[in-house]
Structures are given as C-alpha cells and as structure tokens.
Amino acid sequence: MTTTAADDQLTILDRCDACGAQAYVRVVLPYGELLFCGHHANAHLEKLAAAAICVHDERSRIASDGQAQGAGEA
Ligand SMILES: [Zn+2]
C-alpha cells in the first residue's frame, strides 16, 4: 500500500485551478487532480464527485483560518 497525495493536507501553496485563491478542496480524478477554493468547490464539486476517485475536503477549515467570508454566525 502506498500513501497517496490525496490525503495530504492542503497548504497555502495549493491554489484553486479556477481562480488562484487558496485551495481547500482536492479532487482526484482518473486523469489528474484539481484544486478548488471554497467557492469553486461549491460550484464544481457536485459535477466532479461522480467521476472523482477521491475528494479531500478541507472547507471546514475556511472559517477557522481567519479571513472568513461571511463571518457572523448567529
Ligand atoms: Zn476558485
């Protein structure tokens, strides 16, 4: 068994393939992998999930990373 990169935590160096923002979601597909920020994960994940081998989702970290868009949970 080899450890795949799919489980590695995303870092600030990982960038959304769509907009270049920090990536929080990695989608591993048969032909490669895609990184998405929270916004683009929300936009594309539903379509990609069917084809994905693995989805590594760290969107739960977005709120705790400071710079949360939409701070102010009741
Ligand atoms: Zn993006």
Cβ-contact 43, 64 below 8 angstroms: no
Residue 24 alpha carbon to ligand 1 centre in Å: 9
pTM of the shown model: 0.76
DSSP state letter for 39 = H
Q: Which residues, given as ranges, of the chain have pLDDT below 50?
A: 68, 70-74
Polymer length of the chain:
74
pLDDT, tens only, 16-33: 999 999 999 999 999 999
Query: Rounded CA gap, 43 and 16, in Å?
Result: 12
Query: Rounded CA gap, 65 and 34, in Å?
Result: 21
Q: Write down the pLDDT at residue 62.
A: 87
Residue 67 alpha carbon to ligand 1 centre in Å: 15
Residue extents of the structural domains in the chain: 11-63
Residue 3 alpha carbon to ligand 1 centre in Å: 27
Question: Bridge partners of 57?
Answer: 25
Cβ-contact 28, 14 below 8 angstroms: no
